Structure 1
Amino acid sequence: MPEKSSPTHLSSLPRPAAPAVAATGRRVPGRRWQLSVLSATVLTDNSESSVVSTLFAAMRQTLGMTLGHLGVLQAMSRVVGAVFGPLWVAVARRTGRKAVLVATGLWMGLFIAAGGLTREFWQLLVVYALAAVGAAAGQPIVHDVVADLFDEGTRGRAIGTMYGGITLAGAVIGPVMGRIAEVPGGWRTGFFVTGALCVLAALLVLCCFRDPGSGASESAARAQGTAPQAGAFSRVTLRRLFRIPTFGLMVVQRLLSGHLLMATFGIVFLTERGFSTGTAALIAVPTGAGYLLGSVVGGVVTDRVHRASPDHGRIWILQGLQLLYAVLAFLGTQLDWDGIGAYLLLFGVMAAVQGANPGVNRPVVMAVTPPELRGPAFAVLISVAEALAYALFNLGAGALGDTIGLQQVFLWVLVVLMLVNAAFCGVLHRTYAQDVARALEGRV
């Protein structure tokens, strides 16, 4: 008779590498309604930076601002976010995520509205910095909650739907703000309206949001294997995060994401091409529609590709998006087109490609981190890495835009750097599958 294998003998055999398969999760009741409520928070967080970009052409005359001033405003906002984003996540772990979202939303609304009362640039800088303190809380906390609302197989679609809805609302608000800016002193009204929207979003969260709890969407087996902790940014937490190779690579990838610059200087670029602020602000319509299409369709496609190729699907899509954006940015910013129509089309397609990114990169981070590390992970990824990249791009573009022109800045940041980004994403093929397997087995 063949000798019976002992447990010790079996444990000594080599184990095959575990594929990056999606674990079967649990369905959280009312998750789509909760996603809609959270979308309002992210929309108002984004409006904190977009209101200045949209109204800049009108503000620069009243306050004596240059492109350099615009770059300083946006960079300062992101630096403040890099400091306070992690702090708000730590506070949320102790006091509750809902309480932080409500308090910071009200805070942000108050100080954005105060921006409409400023008379000099330094006054605007101060109130804008204070508004950024509140805006820093939204995105890392919301993404932490989304991972608890949706399981691994549906997160791409959920993130895509959220960003699509946000952009659709922005496509309506943007042109309205542009028209308001053309009225003498209208930019002040733009700040008042934006502040009021932030307050309304905070009240919506207060009345309608229900926190699902950490790990609510995980499979029962995985949820039992995790131990969410109250602490957030201890050295131990950061060491655990950066011991995940894929997470470290994703932080670098976000630092190379040059398309973040378009949110600030897209409209300004078109005004330098000779279009009025009202006409330039029309790009909010095709970019909003494009971002919506890219977010929703991209999220659905990414989930399907991930199910077909769990080890590499998301990474191939991430690479392709960076490469395609670089090509479109060259066509849209380095060639002169007659009339606004061509720019509307190209900027809309660029926005679609950019809109597909959150439905890929956010689920990648969610897949390689356990529930108790996701809040800190998104604080590092969004509040720190994206914020610092955004700050550096805006400072550089603001300073260089006044000397060499935005077209040359866009060539290096939107085209060349995005090609580098696409090549860099290839390294993720070597780490992603193993990191997902480690997370599923509780070895992170």
Structure 2
Amino acid sequence: MKIWKKNLIVCWFGSFVTALGLSQIAPIMPLYIKQLGVHNISAVEQISGIAFGITFVVLAIFSPIWGYAADKIGRKPMLLRASFGMCIVISTMGFAQNVYQLIALRMLQGIVAGYSTACMTLVATQTDKEHSGWALGVLSTASISGSLLGPLIGGYLDEILGLQFTFFFTGALMLVAFILTLLFVKEDFAASDKKVLSTKEVWHKLPDSHLIIVLFATSFILQLAFFSIEPIVTIYISELSRNSAHIALISGMAFSASGVASIISAPRLGKLSDKVGPQKVMLASLIIAGLIFIPQAFVKNSWELIILRFALGFVTAGLAPSINTLLKKITPDVLTGRMYGFNMSAFYLGTFSGSLLGGQIASHFGIKYVFFITSTLLILNAILVYNKICKKLNSGTTPLLKGHMV
């Protein structure tokens, strides 16, 4: 088996496990904050958004920094640093005594993390050119599926073992990712170009920086849409459910419905994007997702919400792979790693903004308005993609895309 295929397998599993572990925390965050002594519902909503999202804004800051370090010393050391660091920090969260310690540890997690970013860079730079688009699509599917399946496991663990065990189990998953990376990932870093360009030099070398900015914006909106509801979905389930004894488990199912749909849908949307072009899949997914968010505000029970979130995951499964495929095709090979680092920063900022926005809107206006605002943002993003990406690709004015797009 070729080295790039082995790396892809390990990175897929490591990204899946990492996302699985991190997302287990989402459905229990409000419950854990209550356990730490905060009982006012409005305060729980706001603190949940901050505690959940602060990790990702710190990640957005440090992702380019670790990307620069990866260009200097290699991507495998970054994988090992991130997985082992998260193992220690997340396990420590289980011993937090108050919300201030929890938030501080979430910030520290953002500093040491970045496993998925390093995986994306490693796969992009080490995979054969003719297979890079497929490989990046596969890797994106791992992160999406893991992040949306994790809450189901987290909710179940809380039901049988308690809130704190979820943090210890997540730490153990990070340790598994560290061991697998240490033993099986191979990187031919000696053959890489070790000349690291400044951010200004990188930007000047891009053939179409405006198109790349739109892709970054789409990554931001995609994550904002997914995570706007995550900090407060447990509270929403509490309002919808008549059986308060299984709130954590039902919340986990609501989170994970999109992940299950993504696993089913992603290969099919990948094949469709190969036929019609990833930009068309991206546009359709944004429009349909925007429409699906609206009825979520009017559901009468938890199962209706779960069904709608399943539909959401089904149509959005192709968004991240389409973004990564387009980035690969319009970016020179020597800049691919840096561009994925910046794109991951957009993802992390979207995650933070979504979790913070969702908590604040729910606290001040009500949970229903979270769905309305998120829907509006997705539709506006679809308009932007149509005007700035679809039209430009059809005109053939983007140099590196000539001969590559349908």
Q: Which interval holds the TM-score relative to the shorter structure? A: 0.7 to 0.9
| Aligned match for 1:147, one of 116, 124, 134 | 124
Offset at residue 173 of structure 1 (A): 4.4
What SS does the aligned partner of 1:182 have? helix
Gapped runs of 5+ residues in structure 2? Answer: none
**Does the Cα contact within 8 Å between 1:267 and 1:283 map onto a contact in 2?**
no
1:224 aligns to what? none
Give yes or no for the alignment of 1:365 onto 2:327: yes
The answer on whether the counterparts of 2:28 and 2:163 sit within 8 Å (CA) in structure 1 is: yes
Matched residue, 1:334: 297
* Alpha carbons of structure 1 residues 233 and 440: separation in structure 2 relative to 1, 3 Å: farther
Identity %: 17
Residue identity matched to 1:124: L
Q: Indicate the residue corresponding to 2:351 in structure 1.
A: 390
Give the paired residue count.
390
Partner of residue 268, structure 2: 297
1:259 matched to 2:225? The reply is yes
Match of 1:121 among 99, 102, 112: 99
Change (3 A) 1:153 1:330: farther
Residues 1:356 and 1:62: Cα distance change in structure 2 (over 3 Å): same
Query: How far apart, CA to CA, are the structure 2 residues paired with 1:32 and 1:271?
Result: 45
Match of 1:51 in 2: 24
Change (3 A) 1:35 1:87: same
Task: Tell me, yes or no, if structure 1 residue 100 matches structure 2 residue 60.
Answer: no
Aligned ranges for residues 32-431 of structure 1 at < 5 Å? 32-47=5-20, 49-63=22-36, 64=38, 66-135=44-113, 137-150=114-127, 154-166=131-143, 173-182=150-159, 186-211=162-187, 228-241=193-206, 244-257=209-222, 258-261=224-227, 262-274=229-241, 276-305=247-276, 313-331=277-295, 333-338=296-301, 340-383=302-345, 385-413=346-374, 415-426=375-386, 427-431=388-392
Check conservation: 2:121, 2:340, Cα contact below 8 A.
yes
Code of the residue aligned with 1:316 in structure 2: it is K
Cα gap change, 1:161 to 1:49, in 2 (>3 Å): same
Partner SS state of residue 25, structure 2: helix
| Unmatched runs of 5 consecutive residues or more in structure 1 | 1-27, 217-226, 306-312
Contact kept? 1:318, 1:357, Cα under 8 Å: yes
Task: Report how far residue 315 of structure 1 moved.
Answer: 1.4
Runs of 4+ in 1 over 6 A off after TM superposition: none
Tell me if the contact between 2:89 and 2:108 (Cα under 8 Å) persists in the aligned partners: yes
Contact 2:87 2:172 in 1 (8 A): yes
Contact 2:53–2:353, Cα closer than 8 Å, also in 1: yes
**Cα deviation per residue 1:61-87 (whole Å; 9 max; x = unaligned)?**
212161111111233212211111001
Q: CA distance change for structure 1 residues 191 and 439 in 2, over 3 Å: closer, same or farther?
A: same
The alpha carbon displacement at 1:436 in A equals 5.2
Structure 1 position 357, deviation (Å): 0.9
Q: Which has the larger radius of gyration?
A: 1
Whichever residue aligns with residue 376 of structure 2, its letter is V
TM-score w.r.t. the length of structure 2 is 0.86
Distance 1:154 1:241, change over 3 A: same
Q: Do the aligned partners of residues 242 and 132 (structure 1) sit closer, same or farther apart at CA in structure 2, a change above 3 Å counting?
A: farther
Deviation (angstroms), 1:392 = 2.3
Task: Report how far residue 48 of structure 1 moved.
Answer: 6.2
Aligned residues: CA RMSD = 2.8
Assess, with a 3 A threshold, how the Cα gap between structure 1 residues 341 and 115 changes in structure 2: closer, same or farther. same
Distance 2:265 2:220 in 1: 22
Measured at CA, do residues 150 and 323 of structure 1 come closer, stay the same or move farther in structure 2, by a change above 3 Å?
farther
Amino acid at match of 2:49: G
Q: Which one has a larger percent helix, Structure 1 or Structure 2? A: 2
